[in-house]
Amino acid sequence: MGLVATALILPGLMPSDSAEQVAYDRFLDRVAAGEVADVLVDNQTGRITFIDDGETTFETTGPLELSIDDRRLLSDSGAAVRFETPQPGFLQTWLPLLLPVGLIILFFWWINRRAQGQMSGMMSIGRSRAKTYTTERPGTTFDDVAGYAGVKQEIREVVDFLRDTEKFAEIGARVPKGVLLVGPPGTGKTLIARAVAGEADVPFLSVTGSDFMEMFVGVGASRVRDLFESARKMGKAIIFIDEVDSVGRKRGAGLGGGHDEREQTLNQMLSEMDGFEGSEGIVMIAATNRPDILDPALLRPGRFDRQVVVPLPELDDRRQILEVHVKGKRLHDDVELDLVARGTPGMSGADLANLVNEAALIAVRNGDDAICAEHFEAARDRAIMGQKRESMAMSDEEKELTAYHEAGHALCAAVLPTADPLHKVTIIPSGMALGVTMQLPAEDRHTYRSDYLRERLVILLGGRMAEELVFGVTSTGAGNDLVQATETTKKMVREWGMSERVGPMAWGSQNQVFLGDELMSSRDYSDETAHLIDSEVQRILTDQEARCRLLLTEHRNALDLIARSLLEHETISGEEVGRLVSAAARPDSADDPSLIEPSPVDPSTVK
């Protein structure tokens, strides 16, 4: 800034150069001709200003020391000659000295401001980082949350209490102090909390669990105190803590002591929620997808009294969620959201939003002016199976092996009575798989019967058995199938009591959350029982493998037809598989090439 000021001031201090410039030789000629009336010589710069007979001012630059001849010429010309040495002004004298001093002062002032800012930051490190929203923000309401009528009803009680406390006080009802939203990732827990902020006429303080954690011990506890103090000043308020499991984990689970920053923060939060000093009028809402690792003291009555489960959406909920996400998007007439909802079991709200967006991207990529049913089909395939790798080169032998592998899965799924309906089979590489057999349940399942699980094992082993039956060898393509089959069988024996030899006993998962729990806990069954569990897992898998081998041997003709159709078309629908299985019962079906001629059924049809 000082340099800029100097550049602006100095030109104004310099004398203006408005006189006409002439050469020094021309000046001497005019002096000799007697045309110069007045001459002013600057001894410092050698600048000469002169006026002619017409009173016109000229300027020239001569030597600093005029020669004797030039002086004699000026004296003999009769002109008025003056020599002067100009004195510098105040600014011209002191500005070169003051400018460095000013720059030094400005530098130290800037350093002082930076130090004050850092000190103020250090002094405010214990303050809460919660964001406070008024009744106008955010604008999300319960109408923007599709589905989840039961969840919204339980949360609405909290909103009604804060709006009309007297109605609850008349009959002595006490609203829960804390509501814990529990559910898988992407189910809309944070969205529901934002809807509470939009519905309640009270301030809403939003904070995440990681905002309490710092490298300095005691900062988290200080921020918890400041958060509740700010909420008490507001009278009635809602505090929302997202990802509460980052600060509310079980105490004493690790190898260290109980004086770490996270545990001190949790202790302060427990005290503020239901300690010696009350917190009437303050309702806490927290969200987590790991309720199993929360400290028991955090979940007791008086703190988080109520746990509201936000599960994966059901069929009707998925339809409503899809209706919300397709608003503002151009849909083709062949799109039926009911079919899309039926074909997306197990998807969360975030998954459905991504599905709609992916379908729109595919429509744009294909150059279509509207989102069609086939775009939703392609988007779902990509979400479930992964991106297609159509450019991947497969040898004829590998392609045939893959075709029989997927035909084995498809045949078992089409023949077994309790299996989920077969949707499509493809040998186009997708994601990490060389081929995919997709089943879609006719309705959402909440419980699984033992006969359904055993038939599920037969379907998983169908690909491996088809390879062994046709080629006499097995390949690595069944690796993932064996992993799924083994994990399912372990749960059947160890957790679900579906083994007659083991009996109605359950030991739960062996995956410990904390290192300390794993070191301090011991296995709750003997080595003999562990051996029995292993033998039962092996027996169930071996029995279902034998059942699968018998089924494929009995329907060998259908297996060949499905594999030939896959080699011809690469992708066939579940209806086409069913038709081939039915046609394979004919005695001459093995030599009839027309059976695999029909093209696959329209893939937009969802079963």
Kindly report, residue by residue over 458-486, the tens digit of the pLDDT: 999 999 999 999 999 888 888 889 999 99
Q: How many residues does this entry show for the chain? A: 607
Per-residue tokens: 415: 């023949």
> What's the helix, strand, coil split of the chain in %, to 5?
50, 10, 35
**Is residue 94 a part of any domain in this protein?**
no
Q: Which of 51, 69, 84 is the last residue of a domain?
A: 84
Quick one: pLDDT at residue 508?
65
435: domain CATH number is 1.20.58.760
Which of 38-47, 299-308, 313-322, 372-381 has the least mean pLDDT? 38-47
Give the pLDDT band (50/70/90) at residue 91: low
Note whether residue 353 is domain-resident.
yes
Same domain, 60 and 197: no
pLDDT > 70? residue 18: no
Q: Pairing state of beta strands 306-309 and 436-439? A: unpaired
The CATH number of the domain holding residue 78 is 3.30.720.210
Give the per-residue pLDDT at 128.
Answer: 53
Tokens of 92: 């011209």
Domain assignment of residue 271, yes or no: yes
DSSP, res 249: B
Has residue 24 been placed in a domain?
yes
Residue 340 shares a structural domain with residue 485: no
pTM over 0.75, yes/no? no
Residue 607: the pLDDT is 36
Closest C-alpha to 349, from 305, 317, 304, 308 = 317
Tell me how far CA of residue 343 lies from CA of 96, 162, 329, in angstroms.
81, 41, 20
**Which one of 377, 406, 467, 576 is the catalytic residue?**
406
Tell me, yes or no, whether 139 and 244 share the same domain: yes
Same domain, 349 and 293: no
Torsion sign across C-alpha atoms 449, 451, 453, 456: negative
Domain CATH number, residue 289: 3.40.50.300
Q: Are residues 381 and 411 in the same domain?
A: no
Is the pLDDT at 511 greater than 70? The verdict is no
Residues 31/74, Cβ–Cβ less than 8 Å: yes
Domain count, the chain: 4
Note whether 413 and 512 are same-domain residues. Answer: yes
Same domain, 406 and 319: no
Residues 446 and 520 in one domain: yes
Q: Could you tell me which residues are beta bridge partners of residue 283? A: 238
Is 157 found in the same domain as 225? yes
Q: Which residues span the domain enclosing 10? A: 2-84
Which of 362, 385, 408 is where one domain is finished?
385
Any alpha helices (H) in 427-478, and if so which ranges? 450-471
CA-based nearest residue to 59, from 103, 19, 31, 15: 19
Parallel, antiparallel or unpaired: strands 178-182 and 57-61? unpaired
- Looking at this protein, which amino acid is placed at residue 492? M
Contact 51, 57 (CB under 8 A): yes
- Tell me if 232 sits within 8 A of 282, measured CB to CB: yes
Distance, in Å, from the CA atom of 232 to the CA atom of 528, rounded to the nearest integer, reads 59
Residue 112 lies inside a defined structural domain of this protein: no
Q: Is residue 26 part of a domain?
A: yes
Q: Which pairs count as long-range contacts for 595-602, CB under 8 Å and 24+ apart, including other chains? A: 595/561, 595/565, 596/561, 596/564, 596/565, 596/568, 596/569, 599/569, 600/424, 600/569, 600/571, 600/572, 600/573, 600/576, 601/573, 601/575, 601/576, 602/573
Spatial separation of the C-alpha atoms in residues 473 and 405, rounded to whole Å: 12
Q: Fill in the amino acid letter for 592.
A: D
| One-character DSSP codes across 341-395 | HHT-TT--HHHHHHHHHHHHHHHHHTT-SSB-HHHHHHHHHHHHH--B-TT----
Question: Of the ranges 287-301, 337-351, 383-397, 458-472, which one carries the lowest mean pLDDT score?
Answer: 383-397
Do 363 and 289 share a structural domain?
no
Pair 159, 203 in one domain:
yes
> Which of 324, 353, 385 is the endpoint of a domain?
385
- More confident call, 409 vs 171: 409
Q: Give phi and psi for 177, each to the nearest 5.
A: -75, -25
Residue 71 lies in a domain: yes
Q: Is 323 marked active-site?
A: no
Question: Among the listed ranges 168-177, 303-312, 539-548, 558-567, which one has the minimum average pLDDT value?
Answer: 168-177
Q: Is the pLDDT of residue 368 over 50?
A: yes
Higher per-residue confidence, 251 vs 580: 580
Three-class secondary structure of residue 69 per DSSP: helix
Check pLDDT > 80 for residue 502: yes
Do residue 282 and residue 148 come from a single domain?
A: yes
Q: How far is CA 467 from the centre of its chain?
A: 41
Task: Answer whether residue 98 is part of any domain.
Answer: no
- Would you call 112 exposed, middle or buried from its count of C-beta atoms within 10 A (0-12, 13-18, 19+)? exposed
CATH of residue 336: 1.10.8.60
What type of residue sits at position 321?
I
What's the N-to-C CA distance of the chain in angstroms? 74
